[in-house]
Structure formats: structure tokens, C-alpha cells
Structure 1
Amino acid sequence: LVIVELLLFSGLYEEALIQFEKIEDTDFQAMYQLGVMHYDGLGTKEDPERGVEYMKKILYSDAPEARHLKFAAAYNLGRAYYEGCGVKQSTEEAERLWLIAADHGNPKASVKAQSTLGMLYSVSVLKDLKKAFFWHSEACGNGNLESQGALGVMYLYGQGIRRNTKSALECLREAAERGNIYAQGHLVEYYYNRKFYSTAVAVAKR
């Protein structure tokens, strides 16, 4: 399996696909990789329906060997439902699957799902800024860069939480230092509006 994954990471998708298909019945990691490859069209014609089926097999399997892949499979299934790709579009089903993947903020679960829920509750028909703040906080605590920038903005404008400029700047500065362009942009705006022009320029140059 390690050799096959090296083929995948080297961009030899067609060969990796052939090797993964040989062991998919006995190896859930191979099944997961095949799901991703079919969904995104890596080494094969794009077939999101087939990719979805692989992810469902993992998510609903009772095999102990599938347990460590369930969070990632649930995240990917949520993505499919949100995009309406391979399945009928359903924001509600995407939410349900992402909540499974996020597992109450468990750092060993899908941090992508935690951050995505923060975004989902910020902008979708399910808009709930308190929930958005909660999930961005969980994802940020688990190291997610995008959620750290989003938290800074929520603190800055009092979205889902009481306005707190000190906490906002802490989040935004740290996210900006880590390379988050979203956070850098908001810092530039913040400094510029307060006439700290040299600081705004310094941040903008990044």
C-alpha cells in the first residue's frame, strides 16, 4: 500500500488506480483513495457517483479497519451533497454529514469539517452566527488557519460574539503571520481606517 501511495503522490494516477483496484476489497485505505480519484477524476474519467459510493461504504461499514477513515469519508460526502455532485444537492444533508465528521470538535476528527461548518453557518440558508463562531473556535483550536482568520473578523465586528478588538487583533495578527491573506486584508483595512498608514502598508506588502 505504501508503494501505491507513493505512485499517487508522484502524480502517476493511472498506475496507482490499477494497484488500488487490486486491493480495494481488503483494504479500506485503497477504497478511500479510489473514492477520491473517481470523484475528482484523477487517473480516470471523473465519476462522482462512483466516488460517493466508495465513501458511503466506508462511512457505513462496521469493520474496525474503516473506523479511522469515517471522519474523512463523512466530510467528502458532505462536500458532494453541498455541491450536488454525484448526488442530489442538499445543504441539510451536507450539514448532517459535516456534523458527523466534526465530531463535537474532536481534534482527531475532520478539522476541515469543523471549519466548513463555521463557513456554512456564516453564509448559507442555515445562517446562525453563534454556531458559526462555535465551529470556527473549535477548528481554530485544532490549528485551522482559515477559521483563525474568520474568528478575528467575527470578534472585530461582533458577529456571533460580543465585539472584542483585542481578541480580534490577536487572531488576525497570528493568522496573518501564518500567511492567511484574508486576515492580512482585514488588518490592512483596520490600520488604514485608523490612519496607521505605515503599518497598513507593511501588512499590505506581504
Structure 2
Amino acid sequence: MKSKITLLFTALTLSLPGIALLPAQAQQAAAAPAASEATAAAVTITGNLTKRPTATVRYLDRSSASSCAFSFTSFQDEIINDYLDHFEGRGRDTDNTNMGLEGPQGLGDRSEGFRDSSPYGNAAGGERLPTPAENSASTSASCSQADRNFAAGRNYLARKDKTLDQAFAAYDAGDYAKALETFKISYKKIGYDEAALMLGNMYFYGQGVQRDVRLAMEWYDKLADSRFNAGQYSPFDARDPERASLRVQAQLRLARIYMAGYQIPKDPVKARYWYKQAAELNFVPARYVLARFNQTGYGGSKDIKEALKLYTNAAEYGYAPAQLSLGDLYYYGIEISQDFPRAFAWFQQAAKQKKPQAQYALAMMLEQGQGTTADPQKALAFYKDAAVAGHPDAQNALATYFYTGQIVSKDLATARKLFQSAAMQSQPDAMVNFAAMLLNGEGLEAGASRNTDEDKLKAYVWLKLAARLGREQAATAANKLETHLTDVQKAQAKRILKI
């Protein structure tokens, strides 16, 4: 829930003669339903799904042969992950040397699996590989024996290859020029995904070479648009939602380059395309971005139904930004039917992940009985959680409780601190309330002395800032207060407001 909804804050009266500031009550987006009729909606959260999509199964990875986009991941994945994390990306987990064979004996359910030492099958165990005709029913791509032989040889070379490790060692030593050339050798020799991504990153950031975004894009494209590799899916983990496979990282780089227009013209259509590719590889945050594109029409047609579908998919995985967006959509009835119970349910899910925006939204709905039974005590608890996390609207809301003494003991000093903190984050209602407390001399710490002239100047500045943010009552109050300022104070305020 965004700052469109603000707490009904207390009317504070300025102490100057003839100036009374009565902040208008904030209007809610819609009237709250009767508390007794409100019933929280049930939503489904699937959690950390790691199962791959069940559409057409294609074993096109290092367990298959070269024509099936065989690739190899270095054994030292922990080192690789560290380097890739340096570039705001995440690596992928270690894989074994078996060519798709699983289990303690190297035997699994992959129809095209084999060892690089036995490309024709496990002769000792009496195992043999199924022919393309035999496995065609379960796979959409099969490999010839020649392909398997080639892949087995390549896998054998990859296990003995040191060029990727040498490239990372050079990078770690700060020898970017050597690292760049060694990554190129590594990619040419084996075709490491890690090498392609690192080369793209190094050209993008200008490490060891002059920055060249177009060359960076060429390397990203080698990985982003390569043939399908089953290991390139991105299993979702709500604890680390931005974790992405190497291929997805390259796709995201391309998407962001097209969005921002780094050394190339902006291209929303291509940006949308690459986010879609990442979404199809199970990168849940990309589905959230695609939902926003569909909601706004960025890079293509506007489609609220598709946006809702994508938001829901990402939200059900446990992706908090999507849960928040769904809450907003249902709360405000943005191009869909308004549904307070469902909005409450999605905000509740996001609040479980300690998202201050969701905590504030729940507090608002609990206070007013929207989508649930009204419960001021629970509302206050969520206000506190969000306020402690620094949410300005929640700080302004909590401050009013301390100012009025509702539910909690009256504490003007705490109210003043909270109003000030929220005002510093450009919360307009807090600006007005903090200005009023300054003028009334309220909330001073024990033993603190008041400087009336300084407080008057500060209050004027805060009111003018709130007026810029659309608070008409703040503009009226500022105009009245200006008549009580000296010429020197007016000049000071003018200089401050220009900063």
C-alpha cells in the first residue's frame, strides 16, 4: 500500500494569534465494509518451488551431447559464485561429472544420461543407452551416438581444463587484461557460461579494456540466447529471491541495457522480450516486472488480465513485491473489482516477510475494519513494526497515537521525534504536524530550552515544503505565518528552500 492512504491525523493548533492549522482528514480510497461482515480471503503460497516446469521435457544440458547445448560448470563453483556476486549476480550450485546420471551408482531417470568414460553406456553393469527412437516419446530432442562421443570427449577435457580457474585467479590479482584474454581462451576452448558472463561484465564495466557496451551485449547474447539448457532454470527461494542462473543474469543485463539506453537507443520492446525470456526460465522476479509492463503497457500492449495473472503467479511463489502489488490492485480496485478481504490477505503474506509497506497497510485496514474485523490493538502493533523499520507513513500514524494518548500513554517527546523522522522522509502530513509542534513548543526533551524565533523559521520551512507536496492547508498556514517573520528570517527561509 502506497502513501495514497494516510492516517486521520490529529488537528494541531498553532500558537500564533490568528493562525489555526486544522489538517484536513485524509479520504480513504473507498468506504470500509462493516467489520462484522469482513472475512479475510484465503490465498495460496506455494513457497520455495524448485520443480521445473512440466511442459515439454528437453534434456538439453551437460547430460546430453553437443548438439543439445552441452555445457560444463567448473568444480570450483564457490569461487565462481563469489566473483559473480561481485557483479550483482548469483552463481549456480555445483554439479557432478556424470553426464546426467544421478544417484549413488550414477544411475538415474534421465533417458540420455551417460558417463564421459562410457559414452556407449555402462558395459560392466549391462547398461546401454536407449536409441533416439526409444527415448523420443519422453524427450523433444535426442542426440546421436556421434554427439554423445563428442560430448564425452569435451566433458573429459573440461574436467582437466584449468583456464577458467586461471582467468579468475588473474581477475583476483587485479590483472584484468590477462583475465579478459584468459576468459576468452576458456570460452573458446570449452564454452563456459561463466566465462561468457564474466566477459560481458568486464566489457560493460571497462575492466582490462575500454568500456564497450555493444561488445558486452555480444557476450551476454552468447549466453542469453544459447540453446536450451535444463540447468539454466532458476529455482525460487523466498530467502534469496533475486538468485538467478547464469543465463538469466545475462538476459537481465540485456533487458536493463535496453531499458536504460546504455550507449544504445532505448528499446522497451527488447527489454520486455528479455524479461519474458528470464520469466520462462522460472526467474520469478522477471514475472513481476512483466506484470508491471502489462499493467502499464510498457514495451507492448496493456493487458491487466495478464498482469494480474503474472502478479498472482509471482505472489504465490512468495515474492513480496508481487504480493504488495496485488494488495494495492485489490484495495484500490485498479482496473479490477475491488476486494478488501483479498487485499488484506496479500498484505498479510507480505507482512510475514517483514515488509514495512505491508505492515503499514495491514495496520490501516485493521484500524478501519477493511477486509477484516477492526482491531485497534493489532493495528497499533503493525504501526510500531513498520515505524521501527523507518516507514514514514507508519511513523506519522504512530506519532498521532503518542500525541493524543490513544491506546498508548501520551508522550509528546516521542510524538515529536516520530513526526520529525517522517518529515525528513518527505511525509507531508508529518511535515505539517511537526511544524505545529514546533510552533506550540511541544515535545521538548526535559531540560531543553526553546528558541521561539528559530522554531518559527523551521516551522515555516516545513509548511512550505508540505505545500509543495499538495497540502493546501499547509500553504494557507505558511502564508499567515510569513507575516510574523522578520525580513532576515524570510531571506533565510528563501535560501533554505532553494537548496
**Whole-Å separation in 2 of the counterparts to 1:5 and 1:48:** 24
Distance 1:32 1:125, change over 3 A: same
**Whole-Å separation in 2 of the counterparts to 1:92 and 1:144:** 26
Larger Rg: 2
Distance 1:178 1:15, change over 3 A: farther
Question: What does residue 22 of structure 1 align with?
Answer: 219
Shift of 1:193: 5.2
Question: What does residue 2 of structure 1 align with?
Answer: 84
Which runs of 5 or more structure 2 residues have no equivalent in the other structure?
1-82, 89-199, 224-246, 422-499
The one of 96, 121, 126 equivalent to 2:330 is 121
**Whole-Å separation in 2 of the counterparts to 1:73 and 1:43:** 24
Question: What does residue 63 of structure 1 align with?
Answer: none
1:88 and 2:301 are equivalent in the alignment: yes
Shift of 1:202: 3.1
Kept in 2, the 8 Å contact 1:48–1:86? The answer is yes
Q: TM-score, normalised by structure 1?
A: 0.81
The one of 398, 413, 418 equivalent to 1:203 is 418
Which runs of 4 or more aligned residues in structure 1 lie more than 6 Å from their structure 2 counterparts after TM superposition? none
Q: Which deviates further from its counterpart, 153-162 or 186-195? A: 186-195
1:186 and 2:383 are equivalent in the alignment: no
Question: What does residue 290 of structure 2 align with?
Answer: 77
Deviation readout 1:123-178 (Å, 9 max, x if unpaired) = 11322111111111111112222111111111111111111111101101110011
Q: TM-score, normalised by structure 2?
A: 0.36
**Whole-Å separation in 1 of the counterparts to 2:355 and 2:396:** 18
Shift of 1:16: 5.8
Question: What does residue 274 of structure 2 align with?
Answer: 54
Distance 1:200 1:45, change over 3 A: same
Kept in 1, the 8 Å contact 2:356–2:385? The answer is no
Shift of 1:29: 1.3
**Whole-Å separation in 2 of the counterparts to 1:90 and 1:112:** 19
Question: What does residue 112 of structure 1 align with?
Answer: 321
2:256 aligned partner, one-letter code: V
Question: What does residue 132 of structure 1 align with?
Answer: 343
Structure with higher RCO (Cα < 8 A, 6+ apart): 2
Question: What does residue 251 of structure 2 align with?
Answer: 31
**Whole-Å separation in 2 of the counterparts to 1:137 and 1:15:** 45
Question: What does residue 69 of structure 2 align with?
Answer: none
Kept in 2, the 8 Å contact 1:153–1:186? The answer is no
Kept in 2, the 8 Å contact 1:21–1:30? The answer is no
Deviation readout 1:93-150 (Å, 9 max, x if unpaired) = 21111111112xx44xx21111111111111132211111111111111222211111
Distance 1:43 1:176, change over 3 A: farther
Kept in 2, the 8 Å contact 1:156–1:165? The answer is yes
**Whole-Å separation in 2 of the counterparts to 1:136 and 1:18:** 43
1:101 and 2:321 are equivalent in the alignment: no
State the SS of the aligned residue for 1:188.
helix
**Whole-Å separation in 1 of the counterparts to 2:309 and 2:255:** 20
Question: What does residue 372 of structure 2 align with?
Answer: 161
Shift of 1:41: 3.6
Shift of 1:24: 2.8
Kept in 1, the 8 Å contact 2:220–2:253? The answer is no
